[in-house]
Structure 1
Amino acid sequence: MRNTLIVAAVVSAMGSMAASAAGGPAATPDRFVFESIDGGQIDLAAFSGRPVLVVNTASQCAFTPQYDALQALYDRYREAGLVVLAVPSDDFAQELDTEDAVKEFCEVNFDLDLPMTEITHVRGPAAHPFFRWLAEDAGFSPRWNFNKVLIGPDGAVVATWGSTVGPTSGRVTREIEALLP
Protein backbone atom coordinates (compact mmCIF):
# COMPACT_ATOMS: atom_id res chain seq x y z
CA MET A 1 0.00 0.00 0.00
CA ARG A 2 2.78 2.41 0.92
CA ASN A 3 4.57 1.84 -2.42
CA THR A 4 1.29 2.50 -4.26
CA LEU A 5 0.96 5.85 -2.46
CA ILE A 6 4.56 6.77 -3.27
CA VAL A 7 4.11 5.87 -6.95
CA ALA A 8 0.85 7.86 -7.07
CA ALA A 9 2.60 10.87 -5.55
CA VAL A 10 5.49 10.64 -8.03
CA VAL A 11 3.12 10.26 -11.00
CA SER A 12 1.07 13.23 -9.77
CA ALA A 13 4.20 15.37 -9.37
CA MET A 14 5.44 14.37 -12.83
CA GLY A 15 2.06 15.25 -14.30
CA SER A 16 2.18 18.66 -12.65
CA MET A 17 5.71 19.23 -13.96
CA ALA A 18 4.69 18.15 -17.46
CA ALA A 19 1.64 20.42 -17.38
CA SER A 20 3.85 23.24 -16.16
CA ALA A 21 6.39 22.67 -18.94
CA ALA A 22 3.59 22.55 -21.48
CA GLY A 23 2.12 25.79 -20.19
CA GLY A 24 -0.92 23.99 -18.79
CA PRO A 25 -2.91 24.85 -15.70
CA ALA A 26 -0.05 24.01 -13.34
CA ALA A 27 1.98 26.83 -14.91
CA THR A 28 -0.39 29.58 -13.79
CA PRO A 29 -0.47 31.40 -10.46
CA ASP A 30 -4.23 31.07 -10.03
CA ARG A 31 -3.74 27.95 -7.94
CA PHE A 32 -2.25 29.92 -5.03
CA VAL A 33 -3.99 31.19 -1.92
CA PHE A 34 -2.69 33.78 0.54
CA GLU A 35 -3.91 34.50 4.04
CA SER A 36 -5.53 37.97 4.07
CA ILE A 37 -4.45 40.61 6.57
CA ASP A 38 -8.19 41.23 7.07
CA GLY A 39 -8.86 37.57 7.91
CA GLY A 40 -9.90 34.86 5.51
CA GLN A 41 -8.04 34.13 2.32
CA ILE A 42 -7.09 35.75 -0.96
CA ASP A 43 -7.45 33.13 -3.67
CA LEU A 44 -5.68 34.18 -6.87
CA ALA A 45 -8.20 32.06 -8.80
CA ALA A 46 -10.78 34.74 -7.96
CA PHE A 47 -8.77 37.14 -10.16
CA SER A 48 -8.57 34.83 -13.18
CA GLY A 49 -9.04 36.80 -16.38
CA ARG A 50 -7.77 40.01 -14.75
CA PRO A 51 -4.29 41.51 -14.55
CA VAL A 52 -2.76 41.31 -11.07
CA LEU A 53 0.20 43.34 -9.85
CA VAL A 54 1.82 41.53 -6.90
CA VAL A 55 4.18 43.64 -4.81
CA ASN A 56 6.25 42.51 -1.81
CA THR A 57 6.07 45.37 0.66
CA ALA A 58 7.53 46.52 3.97
CA SER A 59 6.55 49.30 6.35
CA GLN A 60 10.02 50.48 7.36
CA CYS A 61 11.78 50.70 4.00
CA ALA A 62 13.02 53.67 2.00
CA PHE A 63 10.56 52.54 -0.70
CA THR A 64 7.54 52.47 1.67
CA PRO A 65 6.20 55.75 0.18
CA GLN A 66 5.41 53.65 -2.92
CA TYR A 67 2.27 52.61 -1.04
CA ASP A 68 0.77 55.95 -2.16
CA ALA A 69 1.51 55.12 -5.78
CA LEU A 70 0.21 51.55 -5.42
CA GLN A 71 -3.08 52.90 -4.09
CA ALA A 72 -3.21 55.51 -6.88
CA LEU A 73 -2.60 52.79 -9.46
CA TYR A 74 -5.33 50.63 -7.94
CA ASP A 75 -7.75 53.57 -7.85
CA ARG A 76 -6.97 54.45 -11.46
CA TYR A 77 -7.41 50.97 -12.97
CA ARG A 78 -9.53 48.90 -10.57
CA GLU A 79 -12.79 49.59 -12.44
CA ALA A 80 -11.11 48.29 -15.60
CA GLY A 81 -10.12 45.10 -13.77
CA LEU A 82 -6.64 45.59 -12.29
CA VAL A 83 -5.93 43.99 -8.93
CA VAL A 84 -2.99 45.28 -6.86
CA LEU A 85 -1.96 42.80 -4.19
CA ALA A 86 0.40 43.95 -1.43
CA VAL A 87 2.40 41.17 0.23
CA PRO A 88 4.07 42.47 3.41
CA SER A 89 7.29 40.60 4.15
CA ASP A 90 9.99 40.79 6.77
CA ASP A 91 12.49 38.86 4.66
CA PHE A 92 14.62 42.01 4.46
CA ALA A 93 14.10 42.89 8.16
CA GLN A 94 12.02 46.00 7.48
CA GLU A 95 8.47 44.99 8.37
CA LEU A 96 6.56 45.66 11.57
CA ASP A 97 6.10 42.79 14.02
CA THR A 98 2.41 41.98 13.58
CA GLU A 99 -0.31 42.03 10.94
CA ASP A 100 -2.35 44.40 13.12
CA ALA A 101 0.57 46.86 13.22
CA VAL A 102 1.05 46.62 9.43
CA LYS A 103 -2.65 47.08 8.74
CA GLU A 104 -2.92 50.09 11.05
CA PHE A 105 0.26 51.65 9.64
CA CYS A 106 -1.02 51.32 6.07
CA GLU A 107 -4.50 52.60 6.85
CA VAL A 108 -3.30 55.59 8.89
CA ASN A 109 -0.39 56.64 6.67
CA PHE A 110 -1.57 55.64 3.20
CA ASP A 111 -5.35 55.08 3.43
CA LEU A 112 -4.89 51.73 1.68
CA ASP A 113 -7.90 49.70 0.61
CA LEU A 114 -6.16 47.40 -1.84
CA PRO A 115 -5.96 43.68 -1.00
CA MET A 116 -3.13 42.80 1.38
CA THR A 117 -1.83 39.50 2.68
CA GLU A 118 -0.53 38.60 6.09
CA ILE A 119 3.22 39.00 6.62
CA THR A 120 4.63 36.45 4.17
CA HIS A 121 8.01 35.02 3.25
CA VAL A 122 8.93 35.85 -0.35
CA ARG A 123 12.41 34.30 -0.60
CA GLY A 124 14.17 31.07 0.21
CA PRO A 125 12.85 27.71 1.34
CA ALA A 126 10.20 29.29 3.60
CA ALA A 127 8.81 31.42 0.74
CA HIS A 128 5.10 31.27 0.05
CA PRO A 129 4.35 28.75 -2.75
CA PHE A 130 3.51 31.64 -5.14
CA PHE A 131 6.98 33.12 -4.72
CA ARG A 132 8.63 29.68 -4.99
CA TRP A 133 6.70 29.15 -8.24
CA LEU A 134 7.75 32.60 -9.42
CA ALA A 135 11.43 31.82 -8.74
CA GLU A 136 11.32 28.34 -10.26
CA ASP A 137 9.03 28.84 -13.25
CA ALA A 138 9.51 32.52 -14.08
CA GLY A 139 13.07 32.98 -12.83
CA PHE A 140 12.18 35.95 -10.64
CA SER A 141 12.75 36.34 -6.92
CA PRO A 142 12.42 39.64 -5.03
CA ARG A 143 15.83 41.13 -4.33
CA TRP A 144 14.42 43.76 -2.00
CA ASN A 145 11.12 45.24 -0.86
CA PHE A 146 8.67 46.68 -3.39
CA ASN A 147 9.57 44.38 -6.28
CA LYS A 148 6.63 44.16 -8.67
CA VAL A 149 5.29 41.24 -10.71
CA LEU A 150 2.56 41.74 -13.29
CA ILE A 151 0.47 38.65 -13.98
CA GLY A 152 -1.65 38.81 -17.13
CA PRO A 153 -5.30 37.79 -17.42
CA ASP A 154 -4.13 34.43 -18.78
CA GLY A 155 -1.98 33.78 -15.70
CA ALA A 156 1.36 34.37 -17.43
CA VAL A 157 4.05 36.58 -15.93
CA VAL A 158 4.01 39.67 -18.16
CA ALA A 159 6.75 41.75 -16.53
CA THR A 160 8.76 42.20 -13.36
CA TRP A 161 10.33 45.33 -11.91
CA GLY A 162 12.68 46.07 -9.05
CA SER A 163 12.19 48.46 -6.19
CA THR A 164 13.39 51.56 -8.02
CA VAL A 165 10.65 51.38 -10.67
CA GLY A 166 7.67 53.30 -9.33
CA PRO A 167 4.21 51.73 -9.55
CA THR A 168 2.84 54.61 -11.66
CA SER A 169 5.85 54.90 -13.95
CA GLY A 170 5.22 54.67 -17.68
CA ARG A 171 7.03 51.33 -17.78
CA VAL A 172 4.44 49.84 -15.46
CA THR A 173 1.30 51.62 -16.67
CA ARG A 174 1.99 50.82 -20.34
CA GLU A 175 2.13 47.11 -19.53
CA ILE A 176 -1.03 47.31 -17.42
CA GLU A 177 -2.98 49.31 -20.00
CA ALA A 178 -2.10 46.76 -22.69
CA LEU A 179 -3.87 44.10 -20.60
CA LEU A 180 -7.06 46.01 -19.85
CA PRO A 181 -10.20 45.89 -22.01
Structure 2
Amino acid sequence: MSEFYNLKAKTLQGKDFSFESLKGKTVIIVNTASKCGFTPQYDGLEKLYQKYKNEGLEILGFPCNQFLKQEPGDSKSIDGCLINYGVSFPIFEKIDVNGSKTHPVFKFLKRKLPGIFGNFIKWNFTKFVIDKNGKPLKRFAPITKPEEMETFIKSVL
Protein backbone atom coordinates (compact mmCIF):
# COMPACT_ATOMS: atom_id res chain seq x y z
CA MET A 1 0.00 0.00 0.00
CA SER A 2 1.20 3.51 -0.81
CA GLU A 3 2.50 5.64 2.04
CA PHE A 4 0.09 8.31 0.79
CA TYR A 5 -2.89 6.37 2.14
CA ASN A 6 -1.46 6.41 5.68
CA LEU A 7 -1.70 10.21 5.83
CA LYS A 8 -4.38 12.07 7.77
CA ALA A 9 -5.50 15.68 8.11
CA LYS A 10 -8.23 17.71 9.81
CA THR A 11 -10.93 19.36 7.71
CA LEU A 12 -11.73 23.04 8.07
CA GLN A 13 -14.61 21.90 10.32
CA GLY A 14 -12.14 20.02 12.60
CA LYS A 15 -13.08 16.50 11.48
CA ASP A 16 -10.45 13.80 10.97
CA PHE A 17 -9.91 12.83 7.33
CA SER A 18 -8.07 9.64 6.38
CA PHE A 19 -6.34 9.58 3.00
CA GLU A 20 -7.22 5.89 2.84
CA SER A 21 -10.62 7.08 1.56
CA LEU A 22 -8.85 8.38 -1.58
CA LYS A 23 -7.85 4.93 -2.87
CA GLY A 24 -8.63 4.61 -6.56
CA LYS A 25 -8.92 8.39 -7.07
CA THR A 26 -6.70 10.88 -8.85
CA VAL A 27 -5.95 13.64 -6.35
CA ILE A 28 -4.79 17.25 -6.64
CA ILE A 29 -3.37 18.70 -3.42
CA VAL A 30 -2.87 22.46 -3.29
CA ASN A 31 -1.74 24.93 -0.63
CA THR A 32 -4.11 27.87 -0.74
CA ALA A 33 -4.55 31.43 0.54
CA SER A 34 -7.56 33.72 0.38
CA LYS A 35 -5.63 37.01 -0.01
CA CYS A 36 -3.17 36.00 -2.72
CA GLY A 37 -2.87 37.10 -6.33
CA PHE A 38 -3.46 33.44 -7.24
CA THR A 39 -6.67 33.17 -5.14
CA PRO A 40 -8.83 33.29 -8.32
CA GLN A 41 -7.39 29.82 -9.06
CA TYR A 42 -10.05 28.54 -6.66
CA ASP A 43 -12.46 29.10 -9.55
CA GLY A 44 -10.39 27.05 -11.99
CA LEU A 45 -9.88 24.28 -9.45
CA GLU A 46 -13.62 24.14 -8.78
CA LYS A 47 -14.34 23.91 -12.52
CA LEU A 48 -11.89 20.99 -12.86
CA TYR A 49 -13.47 19.34 -9.83
CA GLN A 50 -17.01 19.69 -11.18
CA LYS A 51 -15.98 18.43 -14.61
CA TYR A 52 -14.05 15.35 -13.44
CA LYS A 53 -15.22 14.41 -9.93
CA ASN A 54 -17.51 11.71 -11.36
CA GLU A 55 -14.48 10.23 -13.13
CA GLY A 56 -12.56 9.94 -9.87
CA LEU A 57 -10.91 13.35 -9.38
CA GLU A 58 -10.56 14.68 -5.85
CA ILE A 59 -9.07 18.05 -4.90
CA LEU A 60 -7.81 18.83 -1.41
CA GLY A 61 -7.04 22.42 -0.40
CA PHE A 62 -4.71 23.29 2.48
CA PRO A 63 -4.77 26.94 3.59
CA CYS A 64 -1.36 28.28 4.59
CA ASN A 65 -0.27 31.63 6.03
CA GLN A 66 3.48 31.29 5.40
CA PHE A 67 3.70 33.51 2.31
CA LEU A 68 3.36 37.22 3.12
CA LYS A 69 0.60 36.33 5.62
CA GLN A 70 -1.94 35.90 2.81
CA GLU A 71 -4.15 33.54 4.85
CA PRO A 72 -4.42 35.49 8.13
CA GLY A 73 -7.92 34.47 9.14
CA ASP A 74 -9.45 31.69 11.15
CA SER A 75 -11.53 28.81 9.80
CA LYS A 76 -14.67 30.96 9.62
CA SER A 77 -13.07 33.67 7.46
CA ILE A 78 -11.41 31.04 5.24
CA ASP A 79 -14.81 29.42 4.78
CA GLY A 80 -16.27 32.80 3.76
CA CYS A 81 -13.70 33.13 0.98
CA LEU A 82 -14.49 29.61 -0.21
CA ILE A 83 -18.19 30.44 -0.43
CA ASN A 84 -17.34 33.46 -2.61
CA TYR A 85 -15.57 31.15 -5.07
CA GLY A 86 -18.20 28.40 -4.86
CA VAL A 87 -15.64 25.86 -3.62
CA SER A 88 -17.17 22.45 -2.97
CA PHE A 89 -14.03 20.30 -2.75
CA PRO A 90 -12.59 19.53 0.72
CA ILE A 91 -10.59 22.24 2.49
CA PHE A 92 -8.50 21.49 5.54
CA GLU A 93 -7.30 23.35 8.62
CA LYS A 94 -4.61 25.96 8.11
CA ILE A 95 -1.17 24.33 8.10
CA ASP A 96 2.52 25.01 7.50
CA VAL A 97 4.04 23.70 4.27
CA ASN A 98 7.65 24.66 5.10
CA GLY A 99 9.80 24.72 8.22
CA SER A 100 9.86 22.71 11.42
CA LYS A 101 6.06 22.50 11.68
CA THR A 102 5.48 21.26 8.11
CA HIS A 103 2.32 19.15 7.93
CA PRO A 104 3.02 15.44 7.18
CA VAL A 105 1.11 15.69 3.87
CA PHE A 106 3.53 18.31 2.58
CA LYS A 107 6.58 16.54 4.05
CA PHE A 108 5.56 13.53 1.97
CA LEU A 109 4.84 15.52 -1.20
CA LYS A 110 8.06 17.55 -1.05
CA ARG A 111 10.11 14.40 -0.49
CA LYS A 112 8.49 12.65 -3.47
CA LEU A 113 8.34 15.66 -5.82
CA PRO A 114 10.96 18.25 -4.86
CA GLY A 115 10.81 21.56 -6.69
CA ILE A 116 13.49 22.97 -8.93
CA PHE A 117 14.88 24.96 -5.99
CA GLY A 118 14.85 22.04 -3.56
CA ASN A 119 12.67 20.58 -0.88
CA PHE A 120 10.36 23.50 -0.12
CA ILE A 121 7.19 25.13 -1.34
CA LYS A 122 7.90 28.41 -3.12
CA TRP A 123 4.44 30.05 -2.87
CA ASN A 124 0.68 29.62 -2.50
CA PHE A 125 -1.16 27.45 -5.02
CA THR A 126 1.61 24.92 -5.61
CA LYS A 127 -0.30 21.92 -6.96
CA PHE A 128 0.56 18.21 -6.69
CA VAL A 129 -1.12 15.41 -8.67
CA ILE A 130 -1.29 11.93 -7.14
CA ASP A 131 -2.43 8.94 -9.17
CA LYS A 132 -5.10 6.31 -8.35
CA ASN A 133 -2.47 4.18 -6.59
CA GLY A 134 -1.25 6.95 -4.27
CA LYS A 135 1.87 7.76 -6.29
CA PRO A 136 2.78 11.46 -6.63
CA LEU A 137 3.15 12.11 -10.36
CA LYS A 138 3.66 15.79 -11.01
CA ARG A 139 4.13 19.11 -9.28
CA PHE A 140 2.71 22.28 -10.85
CA ALA A 141 4.02 25.77 -10.07
CA PRO A 142 1.80 28.45 -8.52
CA ILE A 143 1.71 30.31 -11.83
CA THR A 144 0.24 27.27 -13.61
CA LYS A 145 -3.50 27.83 -13.89
CA PRO A 146 -5.77 24.85 -13.15
CA GLU A 147 -7.12 24.89 -16.72
CA GLU A 148 -3.53 24.39 -17.97
CA MET A 149 -3.44 21.15 -15.96
CA GLU A 150 -6.55 19.68 -17.59
CA THR A 151 -4.84 17.66 -20.33
CA PHE A 152 -2.53 16.05 -17.79
CA ILE A 153 -5.42 15.36 -15.39
CA LYS A 154 -7.47 13.72 -18.16
CA SER A 155 -4.51 11.49 -19.03
CA VAL A 156 -4.26 10.08 -15.49
CA LEU A 157 -7.94 9.72 -14.57
1:116-131 aligned within 5 A? 116-131=91-106
Structure-2 residue corresponding to 1:47 = 22
Using the size of structure 1 for normalisation, the TM-score is 0.80
1:156 aligns with 2:132: no
Deviations 1:73-119 (A, max 9, x none): 10010011100111111111110320111011211x11111100011
2:82 to 103, 106, 113: 106
Question: What is the CA–CA distance in structure 2 between the aligned matches of 1:173 and 1:137, rounded to whole Å?
Answer: 22
Q: Kindly indicate whether the alpha-carbon contact (under 8 Å) linking 1:142 and 1:162 is maintained by their aligned counterparts in 2.
A: no
The offset of 1:66, in angstroms, is 0.5
1:84 to 53, 59, 76: 59
Structure-2 residue corresponding to 1:167 = 146
- Read off the aligned partner of 1:163 and give its amino acid letter: P
Structure-2 residue corresponding to 1:95 = 71
Q: Secondary structure at the match of 2:62?
A: strand
Give the number of the structure whose alpha-carbon radius of gyration is greater: 1
The offset of 1:136, in angstroms, is 2.4
1:144 aligns with 2:130: no
2:39 to 60, 64, 84: 64
* Relative contact order, higher structure (CA 8 A, sep 6+): 2
The offset of 1:49, in angstroms, is 1.2
The offset of 1:174, in angstroms, is 1.7
Identity of aligned residues (%): 29
Structure-2 residue corresponding to 1:176 = 153
More displaced stretch, 69-78 vs 40-49: 40-49
Runs of 4+ in 1 over 3 A off after TM superposition: none
- Read off the aligned partner of 2:140 and give its amino acid letter: W
Gaps of 5+ in 2: none
Using the size of structure 2 for normalisation, the TM-score is 0.91
The offset of 1:156, in angstroms, is 0.9
The offset of 1:51, in angstroms, is 0.4
